[in-house]
Structure 1
Amino acid sequence: MTGRVTQPTVDDIQLAIHHLTETTGKPPTVLAPAGRLGLSNTTFRRHFPDIAADLKQRRTRDPASPAAAASRFDQLQHDNTTLRRDNRQLREHLDLAAANIQRLTLENHRLRQQLETTAKVTTMGRRLASGHCQIQDRQQ
């Protein structure tokens, strides 16, 4: 079993961050000051969440930082989310188009029936297997 490690103070952490920033010329990752102070990344994040969030935000704002560029995983997640949203919108548009086609088909059929009734058009039925036609006379 390991003994209890004394936690560094906020001033110790700020001093380490300042030194790392001066040395590298860019804001450090959370892992750098944690390692410098003898803490694991998880322990550092657990005990100093505000400082960890601040470091992350600083690196995101620094365009020269490699962490500022989205990692491949983050980019894939973003692309996946975008594609899912686009796919959902396209599905909605497709469903709407299908509903409009159905409505227009029914409306067209009804209008043709009205036109045929008004013009007193005789409709010929389907051809039977014996070769004879059924003739239907529409008189109203």
Structure 2
Amino acid sequence: MTRSNGSSQFNHSWSRPMYFKAEPANTILGKREFHTGIMTTHSSKRKGTVAGRQVTVVDTPGWYVGRITPGNVAQELGRVVSLCSLGPHAILLVVSATGDFRQGKWRTTEERLRQIQAPIWQRTIVLLTH
């Protein structure tokens, strides 16, 4: 997950409707950079050093929360690419293991990930949470 310049970029595109999806991002960075317990409304990035390598983590709004429309998702995914100077290197897809994630939501998730226009499944890490 590293670039030739020794840096890594993680984008966590979340499908989890809870407001605690920032916790894995904070764990990756080793410090509290993203606010937990509140809904993310716009993508934002934070940088840190992990195992001696520079990483960028981008937090995005949940895809199945409230008033999120496909247009909003497309706009935020475009923003994700712009926040990662070389594009996302890894996608951390957070899914609730105790929630309802049926085939329809899976198809929607695949469609939204395709909007990034990169070989997504080679770059996606699925994180099951509870």
TM-score range, shorter chain: under 0.3
Larger radius of gyration: 1
Query: Which is strand-richer, 1 or 2?
Result: 2
Give the structure, 1 or 2, with the largest relative contact order (CA under 8 Å, sep 6 or more): 2
The structure with the largest helix share of the pair is: 1
TM-score by length of 1: 0.26
Normalising by the residue count of structure 2, what TM-score does the alignment of the two structures yield? 0.27
